[in-house]
Structure formats: structure tokens, C-alpha cells
Amino acid sequence: MDLKLQNWKKFCRYYSGDLYGIWTRYSRAGDVIESWRCIRSFRPTADCREIHHQNHYTYANGKTETKTFGPYKQPITTGLFLDNGFSWGSTTVKSGSTFFSDICLRYENSRATAIAKYDESGSLKRFTVFPEHLGHFVNVATLPPAHQISSDWQGTVQTITPDWQISAPIVTSWQPLDDLPEDYLRLHFTNGISISCPAQVESGKAFFVAVDWLVNQTLLQRGTRHYDQSGFSSFTLEVFRI
């Protein structure tokens, strides 16, 4: 199968439907700025050649709003899709332009997304973080960072490149976000989602943005967007179990 079409079919299979979530916006220091409800609706046509996307927002003051995106037409999508995660975002750091990284992790009917947004100077501005569930809202359990549960996570890693090449899963070892060598900002949220990213991004400099999702006490996922000196180079998905 054509790799671009294969990527589209994963979009259609794993990310169609109505996703109900509580979105929270945080400052770079981890302080809550605002929170609201959102239903993200991805509706494919019967032949899945087109996907219609709407976000339905309900804000704390009672205001409601609907925004329409797309439609997306087969096989064009800016996201890179694996079975249990996808990512999209800026491909290069450009002076005078904002930069963002969006990573979504999937397990059965649940999702976890973290978005890092940078301003025109490349300085980290804020995060938007939201767990979601297919079909209805759910109460999300309060969970500690993964390293507080165990140091014995065992897992595999899979990589997808911008030209849709997907590697076979290989065995990988787990490192807590706090132990990764880069001097990055790291935040752990109460819904089991964590993020590690640089406070400043620069053109021509390699960096990464990593998101951890502690699905439950025995399952951990990590999605990472990797950038080399030329720009976005790959998205990796790691799945760990105890």
C-alpha cells in the first residue's frame, strides 16, 4: 500500500468519532491559565475519502462555540499516524513565526494530548493538555509521574519519518523524563500526562519534545517529536509495561 495512503487509513481507523475532553491551558511554569470542555468531532464519509472535523467548545462562563476545520481529503493529512499515537506540528523553527508541537497518544477508546506553543522569538509560551474519551466524558484518575510507580518499565519503540516510513518495533529501555540528559523544562500533570521540552527553540539546533502518558499503573506510553539541525526528522512512540 502507498505509504501516504496507509497513513491516511490509520487516521480514519483510529481517530474517527467524537472525542470528549477537558482542555487545560498552562503557563510555562505549570500554572493553570484556563480550562474548558471540548468535543472534537471527526466524521469520515462512508468511503473514508474525506473527514470532516469540528470542535465544539463549552467555556467556564457558559459560552459555547463551534469551529470547523478541513475537510481533510484522502490522502492529505499533516499528521503522522501510528496505531497508538500521532503527531503534527511545525516542521522548522522560523524567525518571526510561532512554533508548536502536538503529540496525541491512544489506548483503546482513550486519548491524551499535549501541545507546546512557542512565540515568534522561539520562547516557550504555554501548554495545552487534555485527556479525551471516545463517545462521552469520563472522570480521569489522578496519577503520579511514572517514575514514582516503578523503575522497571519494559518496552518497545517504533519510528515514523516525514516520508511515512514506519520502522518495526524494537526493544528499548526506559528513562524517566527527569533523567534525560538535556536541560529541559519538565512538567508532570495530575492526569498522568507529563511533558519535557526546551524553554527555547532555535533554527539549526537539534532538540526534542517528549510527552509521557501513564495510562494506568502498568502501562506507560511516550511520544517524541525529534528535530535535527534541518528541522523535524521523526516521531517515535514508545510503549512500556511493568
pLDDT digits (tens, 9 = 90+) for 100-149: 999 999 999 999 999 999 999 999 999 999 999 999 999 988 888 888 88
Give the pLDDT band of residue 181 (cuts 50, 70, 90). Answer: confident
Q: Phi first, then psi: give them for residue 38, nearest 5 degrees.
A: -145, 140
Over residues 155-164, the mean pLDDT reads 97
Q: Indicate the pTM of the whole model.
A: 0.96
Q: What is the pLDDT of residues 7-25, one digit of tens each?
A: 999 999 998 999 999 999 9
7 three-state secondary structure: helix
Q: Report how far residue 58's alpha carbon sits from residue 64's, in angstroms, rounded to the nearest whole number.
A: 5
- Percentage of the residues of the chain whose pLDDT score is greater than 70: 100
Strand spans (E) along 2-123: 17-27, 32-44, 50-58, 64-73, 80-82, 85-89, 99-107, 110-118
User: Which residue(s) pair with 64 in the sheet?
Assistant: 58
